[in-house]
Amino acid sequence: MSGLRAMRTVMATFDESRLAKVGMRYTDWLPGGSADAPTDVLLCSAGPTLEDCSCTHKFSIVEAVKYTCKPADVEQTEQCCQQFMKPVQEHPCAGYLFNRDPDVNTIGTFVLKRCGLPPVKPFKARCSKHADGETYPTPFTFPVLNSTQCGAISAGIGACVAGIGGNYPQAVDCCVNLEKFSQGGCVCSNCDATCGMMVDQAKSLCGGYQIENKSSCPAPPAPVYTNTTEACAAKYVTFLTQIGKYNAGKELSAGIAMCATAVALDVTDKCHCLGAATGVSVTMIASINGKCAAKGGTTYAGLAECVAPSSLTATCTPLFADYGPKCTAAAAARVTGVDVVSTATACCAAAVPFGSSNCSCASPPLGTMDSFYQVATGCAALGVTVPVPACVTAQIQTCGVNAAEMSTKCTAAVAAPTDLVAGAACCTAAQPVGAANCPCMLPDNVDNTLKLTFGTIATRCNGVGVAALAVNIPSCVATLMPSPVPATPTTPAPTQLYQIPRDSNVAVTEVQALAIIKGWEKAWLDAIPAKAATYTHIDVAYIAGRSLEDTIKEASQGAYALIAVGYVLVVSYIALFFMFSSTNGACGVNGSAPGVASGVAAALVIMLATLSALGISGLLVSAGVLFTALTLQVVPFLALGLGINDYFVMANYVAAAVAAAAEGDTATDVLIRAMKLAGGSITLSSVTNLAAFLLGAITPIPAIRNFSIQVAMTVICNYAVALLVYPSLLYFDIKRHLAGGRDCFVLPIKTQQPAEERSPSSISSAGGLARVVLSSLPLRMLVLAAYAGFFAFCASGISRVKLGLDLQDVVPDDDYLHAYATRTINNYGTYGVYVVTEGVAFESTMEEQRALEHAFASTVPSVDVLEQSVNYARYYTENTEGMYSSGLVCSSELDLYRDKWKEDLDLCGVNLGGVDPNGYRNCAKTCLAHKIQSYAGAANSNSKRCVFAAMKNNSTQYTCKCPYRAIVKPANFTAGFPTFLRSGIRGSVSNALLTLAPGSATTIGSSRSLYYVNDVFDVEAKVAHIKAAREVIAKSALVKDKGANVFAFDYSLYALNEQYVNIEETTMFALGMSLIAAFFCMLVFILHPGTCLIVTALIALVEVELYGLIAWSGLKLNAVVMVNLIMSMGIAVEFLSHIARAFMLARGTRSERAAHAVNTLGLATVNGTLTTFLGILPIAFSYYTYFVNYFFLQYVLILAVCLLQGVVVLPVVLSLVGPDAVDLAGYMEEEEEKRISTGGKSPVAKVVGTAI
């Protein structure tokens, strides 16, 4: 853990619809097993028989993990296979467990296959095997075959020798025939020793087949002998067999059996006393007993005396009457310390004749051998020799052998304290030692180590509480053991080892489910900060499903204070501009038009127009145009800045018309004259802006698309106000002016000068600098050179533009989401991606579904192929194979499909715990474990079999590939679906990944497959993944041949990065379309295609510059930036088209006309820039840096670049290559006549602003 930099924990919940469908799951935890009760691998109490299998209810897959088993179809360790799965397979309750728990059934089935072990025996099999080798749901009982029939089948068993030795086809035939041989009862009835040995060898190879060997046959009835001689003769034959078996392998168990029989022949039955009729070799018995005694650390005194049991009993009974009481008194005296010597002497005197007469060998016994042996040992210490009978010596020899066996087994148990099987073996080995009171007879040291060790073993075995494992504790041991602690009045409960979950469902509505989920997430979010604050060495960053929603909701509330500030700034600028305009050479203008009042009224009308646009947008909510954070954070400012400019354009032309008005002109005349020019300009700017915003709606990002549509609504409303409301306001202002009225918003600082008193120098000199520059060719070249440098700088940023918009760029720096986003992007690049499939017959396209899953995981960049995919197809297949192995699904109900995941998987490349996993025997064993594919039956053709073959570069090594998987036939595909979806973890997961067809509980409507995409940190890698994923899906057979609708999706990787897949192409396309639209819009009003081409080319340069500035300003290309670039097209048109139009209407040389255009509209363009800047200025103070960077900053760049292009670059270019002037249908003549009649008044005497 020292190298761990970061880690993530994911907690998933259902959505409200799914939670309402399945209900709330409530879990009670019930007491389970205890640490004080040893259990076996299935958590059942250890014992020889298990009639009640309810103990397996406590079992969970976690138990397998303890033995290093992996709950997946992957390689398994030797410990898993031998110490866990093999005992499970042999457990009498395994079938019950597999039948009850579908997860255990599924996982257990493929782990057993990987271990090369047979499937568990079905508990309640639904299917029965028929003579053709297939299973059917109809009962069938194999008839018991006679010897002739067994002989006919056994002819094929000869293939076993070749099959085991190295011929795989023969091995298949061997397994098939042996299974038939076994099921027909031939193993038990017609199988000699050679046959039995062959069955034993083949059984370990044919892991997938149900083969019973002779050890599983019913035990033969005990032989009935007519006399003792016949019994001894039979036992001696067994004895000779045991000698041969021991000599062959020198196995300890075989040696113990041999020694036990030797003692029985010698001591118990005294067969050597019966003569030659038994065939018993006295020498053989003596030799073996001598070796057994030496092995056990004792001495062998020779054959037992041949004394008739009846005379022995008659002789010894009176002797025992003397010996017993005296030695009992001696034992009591040793405890009390009274008369020890005298009682001991009397005991020894009585023991001598008792021992000399072999009374310890009497039957029934007189006393115990160990008590007599203790007396004899004690008497020897007193100098009295008590003869020890041969039966006692033989018992000591047997005790030595048994004690050695116990030591071996119990040492192994101590080394593996959690291995319950080893513990049971220890207890079993200790039982004969305790039953014969061996610790009291075997040599021990002064510390009584042997006795105390045995006492410890016996105490632990007895503590298990299982009668079958109980061990007798002799009195000589019991007296040495520490006294037990007295029981307290209340015995403490055993240590709790685990708990058992019991689930129940509570029905909830969808509304309740949503409230539960939201409430849980809120409680979690509220609790996390306090908990995280308690950690001193780790930083905790967190996010919940509602986090983004909460952030967006908060941002969507709008910065109302900032909106108010923006409107106040714009209104203040309007009032100050019209109040302190220098046109009339005065500090205040009392009677000029337009005045302050109409300007302030226009600003208020724009506010109402913005509200109207938002109201119209609200009506479009039902059509999917939803309000977002952009709606209230940006739209009000942008609408105000753009809307007020239409008023400036109109006010500019009204001021010119008022200045040129002749005596007798009415307000209507003046307004009409102004609207002839203003209407075209306003329409041009509105149409171009509307086109730009609507083109912005082509983005695939809903929030940006909605924003573009909502701004387009403000353009429409502003245009309607410009046509219907502004003229009315200006009409009354003109009328006031012509009547000599006073503007109520202007202080009477100085009255208006008469016209005749104003000198030409009082006319605006804004174009003075322009005339100087535009009349000098070197200065114009210098301007173009400087612009070329600026353009080169901007263009150099194009190659540096990066794609993306990270979460930390959107949320505020002090928000908890920012910390989470920063840590996530620095540490993780893993995403869970779903591939959704719909519109296909799922029951007949399993092969195509799995092929797509494999192609997606193995060929799409960054997909984790090792984790494969989590999906219903995988789990339903595994469930089907488990059900087949458990006899719950029949082979006649199955089809086999080719699974791409298994095509190249060498099953023999798995270490099964033995040496040489790819050697013939191990590999053949692995292959044969996949029974349904290992031979050709009715359910599968020869082409659907495992491929077993030698490696190309090594003929002694083999591979096994089993690419075919079992699935139920289409007619029954969904028949078991409701049960599958309700059972086990795999069913629950599949249920979450499926939607069923409306009104159906079995027909699949759509499915999802979950993949993990790793190490995709930058947008370029994400885009490459998305493109490759779509290509793989489009080329899949599921889509091309079966007509399925398939798509990949997730929120973080796909939804947020969808915009970048084609964003560069989309941006270029949209800008190109905008240029074309702008060209034709301008052509109507600029009136010359050449000038339109010049303006269009300069607008294109504006877009190049703005694109390059994305990188230099630290921004990234995303949907917001794309929309801003498209919208900048409309702003650029406004900046350039009005000056271009003025140039085309002016008279004189190119330089004079260019200077006139700047003099006419240059200051107005700057004014328009300032109003838009003031409109968006409050965004700079937004709590969300996202709005500051991607709206305020980028709009400032747009305004600056467009202002440079319109006021500086365009006039210079027009002065060099501009077309000739255009006479606008009588307008020029009319204005010229009015100019002459009014004494040289300029038709454009007042400049107030222009639209942008």
- 666-680 residue pLDDT tens: 889 888 888 887 787
Write down the pLDDT at residue 48.
Answer: 41
- C-alpha dihedral sign at 711, 715, 716, 718: positive
pLDDT of 1209 > 90? The answer is: yes
**Choice between 346 and 562, residue whose per-residue pLDDT is larger:** 346
147 and 191 Cβ atoms separated by less than 8 Å: no
Write down the pLDDT at residue 1109.
Answer: 96
**Choice between 733 and 253, residue whose per-residue pLDDT is larger:** 733
**Choice between 151 and 936, residue whose per-residue pLDDT is larger:** 151
The partner residues of 1013 in beta bridges, in order of sequence, read 831, 863
CA distance 823 to 81: 42
**Choice between 1166 and 364, residue whose per-residue pLDDT is larger:** 1166
Q: What's the rounded mean pLDDT across residues 881-891?
A: 86
54-58, 209-213, 758-762, 981-985 — which is least confidently predicted? Answer: 758-762
Structure tokens at 1030: 């779509």
Longest Cα–Cα distance in the chain: 170
The partner residues of 26 in beta bridges, in order of sequence, read 504
**b/e 403-416 (16+ beta carbons within 10 angstroms → b):** bbbbbebbeebeee
Write down the pLDDT at residue 754.
Answer: 43
State which of 149-163, 379-393, 893-907 shows the largest mean pLDDT. 893-907
DSSP assignments along 920-958, one per residue: HHHHHHHHHTSHHHHS--TTS-TTSS-EEEEETTEEEEE
CA distance 766 to 658: 20
State which of 190-194, 411-415, 974-978, 1113-1117 shows the largest mean pLDDT. 1113-1117
> Where does the pLDDT of residue 617 fall: very low under 50, low under 70, confident under 90, or very high at 90 and above?
confident
Tens digits of per-residue pLDDT, 225-264? 766 777 888 888 888 888 887 887 777 767 777 887 888 8
pLDDT of 1047 > 70? The answer is: yes
Q: What's the rounded mean pLDDT across residues 688-705?
A: 75
Write down the pLDDT at residue 311.
Answer: 57
pLDDT of 590 > 50? The answer is: no
33-42, 349-358, 898-907, 1006-1015 — which is least confidently predicted? Answer: 33-42
Q: What's the rounded mean pLDDT across residues 753-759?
A: 39
Write down the pLDDT at residue 837.
Answer: 95
Quote the strand ranges of 1080-1168, DSSP E.
none
Does residue 13 sit in helix, strand or coil? coil
How many residues in the chain?
A: 1252
**Choice between 1247 and 420, residue whose per-residue pLDDT is larger:** 420
Residue type, 328: T
**b/e 47-77 (16+ beta carbons within 10 angstroms → b):** eeebeebebbebbbeebbeebebebebeebb
Q: What's the rounded mean pLDDT across residues 106-123?
A: 84
Tens digits of per-residue pLDDT, 3-13? 677 887 877 77
Tens digits of per-residue pLDDT, 804-856? 877 777 777 778 888 887 887 777 778 889 999 999 999 899 999 999 999 99
Write down the pLDDT at residue 758.
Answer: 37
Tens digits of per-residue pLDDT, 624-677? 788 776 676 677 777 777 777 778 778 877 887 888 888 888 889 888 888 887
pLDDT of 1011 > 90? The answer is: yes
pTM higher than 0.75, yes or no? no
**Choice between 1209 and 1050, residue whose per-residue pLDDT is larger:** 1209
Q: Which of 956, 1002, 952 is nearest to 980 (CA)?
A: 1002
> Where does the pLDDT of residue 1027 fall: very low under 50, low under 70, confident under 90, or very high at 90 and above?
very high
Q: What's the rounded mean pLDDT across residues 1100-1105?
A: 95
In the predicted model, what is the mean pLDDT of the chain?
Answer: 79
22-36, 209-223, 498-512 — which is least confidently predicted? Answer: 22-36
Does residue 1031 sit in helix, strand or coil? helix
pLDDT of 526 > 70? The answer is: yes
Q: What's the rounded mean pLDDT across residues 763-786?
A: 79
Q: What's the rounded mean pLDDT across residues 1142-1156?
A: 88
Q: What's the rounded mean pLDDT across residues 495-516?
A: 70
> Where does the pLDDT of residue 414 fall: very low under 50, low under 70, confident under 90, or very high at 90 and above?
confident
